[in-house]
């Protein structure tokens, strides 16, 4: 064997260039005009965080809402995402009218923003109709419904955005179609995160120079982005249709090539009936005086979605069914871990002196590095099984939380004395270390859902599993509420915040890892929970 004469550095540089060319430049090369409409809808979701910082300050300064109440409000605001099942089915049934759902979503988003305009600019008039905290609750619940409508349509538009045929009408190879779908979904995540990065720093800086009401007036442009996106999609689809007509294709062939066939499908009454039951139960319990109504709604939702999952998996082989149940359980538990709640932000404002501009800087850094992580780590993440990723991310997230726990006990004061840097530097470094993995964790989960979906029920399966994983976020809000009741944190009273942060960190570390070990034990025995 002839020994290689290549210098080691050359090989490493070559691999580095190959990685850069494939993962970074490849995305740019594969961009298509047809991808732009759904990306604009995703972008609108990303830039919706424009008012996130001033909302935190407004709630802290002007509304008498506790951290526990805000955590429970997060539970209610997360429930609309479980409605992706019926909304997705309705979009499929009325695909030719998909623009209507985007317009409806934009209208609901605008309604939520207009309420905040009134609260920040005309509080006396608003209080004459309803208490200010009630207005805020309405705004917090209306806007997510609008986002759900738009998100469902955007998800469906990503399928339409990928052409199945060349300009000459020739079918594209399956491998190329798969590559384009991967590119489309990656760009969708980048649009959401990039939108957040675009407005985070700007929003934080403007919050120090403009009034809150002016900021909310500006934010009314956000729904227009998604409306423009779906309008552009209709225009682009018409241009493609005209191009095929000039080439002599029949109208039937054109509809087939453009995904424009009128769907020949009947309503799925299992999905619609289960969703109607979910809405009815949620409303009845929500309007009742039941002490544990949030818990009851969560359990009812879990039961309904679990039933739908069972129906979808009934036709699968037992081994495949057990594998899906196991992974679904791991993903659910990982996403259901409680957070600290609003008290952490209040403490950072009051004790650490973080202002709107600095919060904006942190969010912008986080978003930018998340995009970098999507490019740089997607290959590494795709090669690891989900249980491995859950264990790794649980350990990593726990370590990344330690600096903030340390600052509660005076770490920043010690570093200031010993090394000349304080709280802001620690927060910046911690954010830079944590952010690259923050969004990449979503990629294997979405890829797993798409990979396991039965071909004949792909859309329904994806919607149901997405509703299941999104329901985990409602469980996280419940857990956050419990934690804030156990460790009471109020504005200006942060004596129990240290214990809260430690408890949340331990739960987020131990429970997911224990779940992975337990599921692994079941796998060795060949039995899984039903």
For residue 499, the domain's CATH number is 1.20.1250.20
Find the largest Cα–Cα distance for the chain.
88
Lowest pLDDT segment from 107-111, 267-271, 322-326: 267-271
* CB contact at 8 A, 116 and 164: no
Read off the pLDDT of each residue in 375-395 and give the average, rounded to a whole number: 78
- What is d(CA 272, CA 280) in angstroms, rounded to the nearest whole number? 12
* CB contact at 8 A, 263 and 94: no
* CB contact at 8 A, 394 and 516: no
pLDDT for residue 445 is more than 50: yes
Tokens of 12: 């490493």
Check residue 528 and give its pLDDT: 47
Check residue 5 and give its pLDDT: 44
Full domain range(s) for residue 245:
21-525
Check residue 199 and give its pLDDT: 77
Chain-centroid distance of CA 304 in Å reads 22
- What is d(CA 224, CA 354) in angstroms, rounded to the nearest whole number? 32
Question: In DSSP terms, which residues pair with 171 in a beta bridge?
Answer: 165
Read off the pLDDT of each residue in 176-196 and give the average, rounded to a whole number: 76
Read off the pLDDT of each residue in 408-429 and give the average, rounded to a whole number: 91
455 within a domain of the structure (yes/no): yes
Higher pLDDT, 400 or 168: 400
Q: Specify which of 325-334, 452-461, 510-519 reaches the highest per-range mean pLDDT.
A: 510-519
Q: How many domains does the chain contain in total? A: 1
- What is d(CA 422, CA 410) in angstroms, rounded to the nearest whole number? 10
530 within a domain of the structure (yes/no): no
SS3 291: coil
Model confidence at 287, pLDDT cuts 50, 70, 90, reads low
3 within a domain of the structure (yes/no): no
333 within a domain of the structure (yes/no): yes
| % of the chain beyond a pLDDT of 90 | 15
* Axis-axis angle for helices 67-78, 342-350 (nearest 10): 130
What average pLDDT does the chain have? 78
- pTM here? 0.67
SS3 306: helix
pLDDT for residue 456 is more than 60: no
pLDDT for residue 107 is more than 90: yes
6 within a domain of the structure (yes/no): no
- What is d(CA 74, CA 204) in angstroms, rounded to the nearest whole number? 22
16 within a domain of the structure (yes/no): no
Higher pLDDT, 231 or 22: 231
* Axis-axis angle for helices 458-486, 293-313 (nearest 10): 150
Read off the pLDDT of each residue in 137-159 and give the average, rounded to a whole number: 83
- What is d(CA 339, CA 503) in angstroms, rounded to the nearest whole number? 10
163 within a domain of the structure (yes/no): yes
156 within a domain of the structure (yes/no): yes
- What is d(CA 309, CA 303) in angstroms, rounded to the nearest whole number? 10
Residue 410 falls in which region: left (phi positive, over 0), alpha (psi -120 to 50) or beta = left
C-alpha to C-alpha distances, 91 to 143, 257, 505, nearest whole angstrom: 19, 20, 40
Check residue 460 and give its pLDDT: 65
Question: In DSSP terms, which residues pair with 323 in a beta bridge?
Answer: none
Check residue 511 and give its pLDDT: 95
């Amino acid at each position: 064997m002839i020994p290689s004469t290549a210098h080691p550095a050359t090989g490493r540089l070559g691999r580095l260039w190959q990685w850069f060319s494939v993962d970074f430049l490849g995305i740019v090369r594969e961009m298509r005009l047809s991808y732009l409409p759904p990306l604009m809808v995703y972008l609108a979701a990303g830039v919706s965080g424009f008012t996130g910082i001033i909302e935190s300050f407004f709630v802290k300064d002007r509304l008498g809402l506790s951290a526990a109440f805000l955590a429970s409000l997060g539970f209610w605001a997360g429930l609309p995402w479980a409605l992706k099942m019926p909304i997705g089915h309705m979009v499929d049934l009325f695909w030719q009218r998909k623009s209507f759902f985007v317009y409806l979503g934009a209208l609901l988003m605008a309604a939520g923003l207009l309420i905040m305009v009134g609260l920040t600019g005309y509080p006396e008039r608003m209080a004459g109709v309803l208490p200010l905290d009630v207005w805020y609750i309405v705004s917090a619940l209306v806007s997510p419904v609008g986002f759900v409508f738009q998100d469902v349509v955007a998800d469906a538009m990503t399928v339409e955005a990928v052409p199945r045929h060349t300009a000459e009408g020739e079918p594209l190879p399956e491998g190329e179609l798969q590559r384009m779908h991967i590119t489309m979904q990656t760009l969708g995540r980048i649009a959401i995160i990039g939108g957040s990065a675009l407005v985070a720093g700007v929003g934080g800086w403007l919050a120090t120079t403009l009034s809150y009401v002016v900021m909310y007036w500006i934010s009314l442009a956000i729904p227009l982005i998604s409306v423009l996106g779906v309008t552009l999609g209709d225009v682009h689809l018409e241009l493609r249709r005209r191009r095929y007509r000039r080439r002599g294709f029949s109208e039937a062939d054109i509809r087939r090539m453009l995904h424009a066939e009128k769907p020949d499908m009947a309503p799925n009454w299992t999905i619609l009936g289960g969703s109607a039951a979910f809405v009815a139960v949620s409303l009845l319990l929500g309007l009742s005086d039941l002490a544990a109504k949030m818990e009851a709604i969560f359990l009812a939702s879990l039961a309904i979605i679990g039933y739908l999952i069972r129906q979808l998996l009934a036709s699968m082989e037992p081994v495949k069914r057990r594998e899906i149940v196991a992974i679904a359980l791991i993903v659910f538990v990982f996403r259901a871990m409680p957070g600290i709640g609003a008290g952490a932000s209040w403490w950072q404002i009051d004790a650490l002196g973080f202002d709107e501009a600095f919060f904006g800087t942190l969010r912008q850094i986080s978003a930018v590095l998340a995009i970098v992580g999507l490019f740089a780590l997607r290959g590494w993440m795709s090669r690891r099984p989900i249980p491995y990723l859950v264990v790794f991310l649980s350990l990593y997230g726990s370590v990344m939380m330690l600096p903030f726990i340390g600052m509660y006990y005076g770490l920043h004061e010690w570093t200031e004395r010993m090394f000349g840097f304080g709280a802001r530097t620690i927060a910046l470094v911690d954010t830079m270390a944590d952010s690259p993995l923050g969004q990449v964790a979503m990629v294997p989960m979405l890829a797993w859902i798409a990979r396991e979906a039965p071909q004949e029920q792909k859309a329904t399966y994806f919607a149901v599993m997405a509703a299941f994983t999104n329901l985990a976020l409602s469980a996280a809000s419940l857990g956050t509420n419990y934690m804030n009741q156990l460790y009471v944190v109020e504005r200006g009273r942060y004596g129990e915040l240290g214990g809260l942060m430690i408890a949340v960190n331990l739960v987020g570390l131990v429970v997911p890892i224990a779940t992975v070990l337990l599921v692994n034990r079941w796998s060795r025995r060949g039995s899984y929970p039903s």
